[in-house]
Structure 1
Amino acid sequence: MFGLGWPEIVALVVIALLVFGPEKLPQAASQAGKTLRNLRRMANNARDDLRSGLGPEFADFDPADLNPKNFVRKHLIADLEDDLNGTSKATATAEPAADHHAMSGGGELGYGEIPPYDSDAT
Structure 2
Amino acid sequence: MLGINGTEMLILVVVALVVIGPKRLPEYAQKLRDLVRQMRRMAEGAKDSVRRDFGDDFNDVDWQKLDPRQYDPRRIVREALVEEDSAIRESKLREQSTAGSDKSAQAIDSEGSTDVADSAAESRPKTLSPIERFQAQTVLRDRSVNAPFDTEAT
Distance 2:34 2:57 in 1: 35
User: What residue number does 2:78 align with?
Assistant: 84
The reply to whether residue 21 of structure 1 matches residue 52 of structure 2 is: no
Aligned partner of 2:136 among 84, 94, 111? 111
1:81 is matched by which residue type in structure 2?
R
The number of equivalent residue pairs is 103
Q: Which runs of 5+ in 2 are unaligned?
A: 98-120, 138-154
Asked if structure 2 preserves the Cα contact closer than 8 Å seen for 1:83 and 1:91, the reply is no
Superposition CA RMSD, Å: 4.1
User: What residue number does 2:100 align with?
Assistant: none
Distance 2:136 2:96 in 1: 16
Give 1:78 shift: 5.6
User: What residue number does 1:9 align with?
Assistant: 9
Structure 1, residues 14-38: CA drift from partner, whole Å, max 9, x if none? Answer: 2211233224323422331222022
User: What residue number does 2:90 align with?
Assistant: 96
Distance 1:19 1:9 in 2: 15
1:93 is matched by which residue type in structure 2?
A
2:136 is matched by which residue type in structure 1?
Y
1:97 is matched by which residue type in structure 2?
S
Runs (4+) of structure 1 moved beyond 4 Å? 85-89, 100-106
Give the TM-score normalised by structure 1.
0.53
Which protein has greater RCO, CA pairs closer than 8 Å, 6+ apart? 2
Give 1:88 shift: 5.8
Distance 1:97 1:44 in 2: 51
Structure 1, residues 67-113: CA drift from partner, whole Å, max 9, x if none? Answer: xx93xx56xx367525536896444423313545777787x86724x
Give the TM-score normalised by structure 2.
0.45
